[in-house]
Amino acid sequence: MARPSKAIFTYQTRLEESSFIESYATYMSTLERYIFAALQAKKGVNQLKVEFTKKFDISGRQFNSILKSVQGKISSVKALRPDYILGKQAKVKSLEKLLKKLSKLEQTKKIKLTIHQKNIRLNRIKRELATLLKDQQDDRTRLCFGSKKLFRKQFNLKENGYKDHAAWLKDWRFARNSELFFVGSKDETAGCQICQASLQENNKLTLKIRVPKALQDEFGANQYIRDVDFKYGKDVILASLVSKTVIKGPRKLPLKECTALTYRFKRDKTGWRLFVATEFKAPEVISLKQHGRIGVDVNVDHLAVVETDASGNVINSWTIGTNVYGKSSNQAKAILGDAAAKVLAIAKTAMKPVVVEKLDFKVKKRNLMKESPRIARMLSSFHYSSILQFIKATCFRAGIEVFEVNPAYTSIIGRIKFAARYGLTVHQGAALVIARRSQRFSETIPLLSRVPDNKGHLFSFDVPVRNRSKHVFCQLRAASAKLKTALAGQHRLELKLKSWSAITPLQ
C-alpha cells in the first residue's frame, strides 16, 4: 500500500456558550432540512443555489457549506445501506433456519411461544429489508434530523423520563439545531471565507464569522469569537493559515493560496465544541524496512505486538490492553489512542515500519447471533476500524510507514509453528506471522509440533501431510479443521481431569 503524500486531520477544542452560535446553528439547520427535502425532490444543485441564495438572502459560500453538510449525510446513509441489507439478509436466513429446526421438535407450550416470537421478529426484519431494498432501487435517502430514537420518545413520555410534551420538544429542538458547518477552500483568505482564524498577541486564536443577512439586525455583519485555544494541533492550524504564492492558469499568473480549513461547531450536553479539519503533509519517513518489522495482531481486548529483525526472527514481544467493553465512546477513544501511542513508541525506538492485517469485521458482526453471548458482547463493542485509524494516524504524523497484509491463517500458523518455539502467546505468534508476511517470508508447517491451547497448556498436534502440488493454504485449511477438533478434545480432557481430581484429591 502506497503511503499517501498528505492526509486530513481534525483538531477540536471547547468553546464558551454563545447565543450567536446557537442562533446561527438554528437558522442554518433549518435551511439544511429545506435543502435536504429539495434534493429528495430531485431538484438540480444550480437551481437550488439560485433559489436559496435569493429567498433566504445567504451568500453562495454559505449555501455551499449547507449543501456539503447535507451531501455528506446522504453519502453516509448510502455507504452504510449495503451493509445494513446484508445484515438483515443474514438475520432472515438465521431465523428461518432456527424456525425450521424448532418446527421439528415436540410442540410444547414453550416451543410454540418461541416460534411465535421468532415469527414476529422475522416478519419485522423482512419488512425492514424490503424498505431498504426499495430505497436502494429508487435511490431514496431517509434522514431524521434529531435522530429517529429521540423522535419516537414523544409517544411514551413517562417511560422515557419526560414530564410532558414540552420537555421532549426542548430536547428535540436541541438535537436538531446542534451543528454548524463551514466548508473551506485554499483560494480563500485564511482558508475559509465564512470563518477566518487569526493569531492574537496571547498566542490564542480569534475567529471572525460572517453573519447571514437574516441575523445581521441582531448580531451585525461579523461576529468574533476570541481566546480560542487548542491543546493539540494548533501548530498545524497556524501553518495552514500561511499563504503561499503559486503559479497557475494559462497565463502563468502568481496566485496566493493557503491550506483549506473546514470548521464544524457541534453542541453536546456540556456545551459547544469546535472541530477544525485541515491537510497535513506527510513528514519524511524515518522507519527502515531493511531492519525488520513491528507486527500487530488486533484482538477484541488487546494488541499483540512482536518486533522482528531483518531475517524474520523475534527480538521482543508485548501485549497492550484495549478492552473497551462497557466504556463510553470518549473512554474507548482514549484507551485506543493510548494503545496506538504505545505501538508508535515501540516503532520509533526500533525505527521499523508497523504491519497490520487487512481485516473487515462487518461480516463477523452480522453473524453475532451465531456466536456465544460472551463473544457476541465483545465483538459488538470491538472498535477494530478505530484502532487501525489511530495506529495509521499516529504513525503517519511521526513518519512511520504502515503496511497491511493478507490475514489468511495468521493465527493457525502462529499457534502451530511459532508460539511454543519462541515462548509467545497464540496472538503474539500471529503478530509474528503478520510481520514475516510483510517481509515476504513464506511459511512451511512442521508435521508435528507442540501447540498451545487456550488455557496456557501445550499438547502434541499432528499436522496433515502437505500435497506439494497445491498451495500451502490447502494444508492450512485442513490443519485449521483438525486443530478445532484437537482443541475441543483437549478441553474435554481437562474437564475430566478436574472432575477426577475433585473426586480423588492428590495426596
Q: Which is nearest to 356 in space by CA: 464, 438, 425, 452? A: 438
- Can you give the pLDDT at residue 484? 65
- Can you give the pLDDT at residue 495? 65
Distance separating alpha carbons of residues 268 and 225, to the nearest angstrom: 19
Pairing of strands 458-462, 448-452: antiparallel
The three-state DSSP-derived secondary structure of 355-380 is EEECCCCHHHHHCHHHCCHHHHHHHH
Q: Which residues pair with 267 in a beta bridge?
A: 272
Residue 196: what are its φ and ψ, rounded to 5°?
Answer: -120, 130
- Can you give the pLDDT at residue 406? 87
Q: Which is nearest to 193 in space by CA: 183, 206, 205? A: 183
The three-state DSSP-derived secondary structure of 96-113 is HHHHHHHHCCCCCHHHHH
Q: Which is nearest to 296 in space by CA: 170, 388, 221, 421? A: 388
Largest CA distance in the chain: 96
Which residue positions in the chain have pLDDT lower than 70? 1-2, 245-256, 360-382, 446-507
Q: b/e per residue, 329-338, with b = 16+ CB within 10 A?
A: eeebeebbbe
384 Cβ neighbours under 8 A, 6+ residues apart: 298, 359, 361
The three-state DSSP-derived secondary structure of 109-158 is HHHHHHHHHHHHHHHHHHHHHHHHHHHHHHCCCCCCCCCHHHHHHHHCCC
Q: Which residues pair with 208 in a beta bridge?
A: 196, 224
350 Cβ neighbours under 8 A, 6+ residues apart: 291, 292, 294, 307, 315
Residues 258/242, Cβ–Cβ less than 8 Å = yes
Sign of CA dihedral 479, 314, 292, 319: positive
60 Cβ neighbours under 8 A, 6+ residues apart: 49, 53
Return the CATH class of domain 289-443: alpha beta
- Can you give the pLDDT at residue 188? 85
Q: Which is nearest to 181 in space by CA: 69, 290, 101, 85? A: 69
- Can you give the pLDDT at residue 126? 95
Q: Which is nearest to 228 in space by CA: 201, 208, 206, 196? A: 206
Residue 422 in grid coordinates: 519462541
Look at the chain and count its residues.
507
Residue 26 in grid coordinates: 438554528
- Can you give the pLDDT at residue 449? 63
Instruction: Give the SS3 label for residue 215.
Output: helix
99 Cβ neighbours under 8 A, 6+ residues apart: 115, 118, 119, 122
* Alpha helices, DSSP H, located in 163-317: 165-176, 216-219, 234-241
Instruction: Give the SS3 label for residue 499.
Output: helix
Distance separating alpha carbons of residues 401 and 354, to the nearest angstrom: 6
Instruction: Give the SS3 label for residue 438.
Output: helix
pLDDT in tens, 472-492: 666 666 666 666 666 666 666
Instruction: Give the domain ranges of the chain.
Output: 1-282, 289-443, 446-507
- Can you give the pLDDT at residue 300? 80
Task: Kindly list the distances between the CA atom of residue 428 and the CA atoms of 297, 342, 412, 433, 451, in Å, as whole numbers in the listed order.
Answer: 7, 16, 12, 9, 14
Residues 416/446, Cβ–Cβ less than 8 Å = yes
Q: b/e per residue, 257-273, with b = 16+ CB within 10 A?
A: ebbbbbbbbebeeeebe
- Can you give the pLDDT at residue 404? 92
Instruction: Give the SS3 label for residue 459.
Output: strand
